Amino acid sequence: MSNRKIIVFVSFACIMASLVLAFYFFINKPERQAAPALKGTGKAIVFKDVKYTGERRGVVDWELTAKVARKYIDKPLIELDDLKGLYKPKPDTVIEFTGTKGSMDTEKESGRVDNVQVFYGGEYTLKSPYMDFDFKNGITATKDAVDIKGEKIDMQGVGLLANTAEETLRLLSDVAGIITTDNAKRYRFQSDTLLYYFQQSTYILEGKVILKGEDLDMVCDIVHIYSTNNEVDRIEADGNVRVTSKGTVAKSEKAVYHFKEGKIVFTQSPRVFKDNVEMKGERVVYTTTDGKLSVERPKIRMEKGK
């Protein structure tokens, strides 16, 4: 056999051997294992010291910062630990909040914060086990207990609904609180619900309203509390008003308590009971400091047998 034939034969044998060997390893190669997926909510990327912001008309209206954030790949969800945030419903209004953990849907711009504290304009501090936030619609809500502390009024209740567009805050049930006047008097109140208007600094208590202080007890259906510079100016009570003070009982459909003057004005069929005497008039003025009464166009009736 010539040298050329030997070379061709050997080369051909080497090529065939290489193909057989390659085919053998291809058939017997180990299977590739699929990467395990995270259980529950899918895959996530973990970030540290992050900040998220939202804009409206080119202006940042909310911001979130967190020590740790988990950004899910397959859904618009962020989970946050040790977070802080602020919300600007208006250019001159800033609401700050903190929480131990939370979550946010980045498409809907809504989420939840646990163990939340809310700080509003240096006027109020609000605490709750959790709160739901809807930044697009300016809604904050919870069904849990709420504790609000202010300079002159403290409030507690169960359930909250706040609307930053309307600048209102509502406690939904089991309302209780304390009013502190500028002369350091304290009045405790209870009601079924409470509605607060931020711009007007007005509180509305509804349901069975009870107001107790060192100089009077009041029961009625609705109470409007008006304040200026965090100081209570007056209280307007409506519907089945009953006031007890220093042995005097007054009833009417409407009464206005002027705090600074220490004076209660009863209108709409007022009646006063004192020392076995019933007095009626068009208008009754009662002074809480000394218990004096003033009755316009009085009608007096003595109760017999007493």
152-210 pLDDT per residue, tens = 789 999 999 999 888 899 999 999 999 887 777 788 999 999 999 988 889 999 999 99
Q: How far apart are CA 1 and CA 220, in angstroms?
A: 124
Residue 28's pLDDT is what? Answer: 34
Please choose, from the candidates 267, 273, 191, 272, the residue with its C-alpha nearest in 3D space to the C-alpha of residue 225: 191
Which of the residue ranges 18-32, 124-138, 288-302 has the most confident prediction, judged by mean pLDDT? Answer: 124-138
Q: How far apart are CA 209 and CA 298, in angstroms?
A: 29
Residue 8's pLDDT is what? Answer: 34
Model confidence at 228: pLDDT above 80: no
Residue 265's pLDDT is what? Answer: 96
12-32: average pLDDT: 32
Above pLDDT 70, what percent of the chain? 80
Model confidence at 303: pLDDT above 90: no
- Write the CA distances from 18 to 9, 10, 53, 200, 217, integer angstroms: 14, 12, 60, 90, 103
Q: Output 198 or 112, whichever has higher pLDDT.
A: 112
Give me the domains of the chain, ranges plus CATH numbers: 38-121 (no CATH), 151-306 (2.60.450.10)
95-109: average pLDDT: 89
Model confidence at 211: pLDDT above 90: yes
Model confidence at 42: pLDDT above 80: no
Residue 251's pLDDT is what? Answer: 95
Residue 198's pLDDT is what? Answer: 83
265-277: average pLDDT: 90
144-157: average pLDDT: 91
Model confidence at 6: pLDDT above 50: no
How confident is residue 241, by pLDDT bands cut at 50, 70 and 90?
A: very high
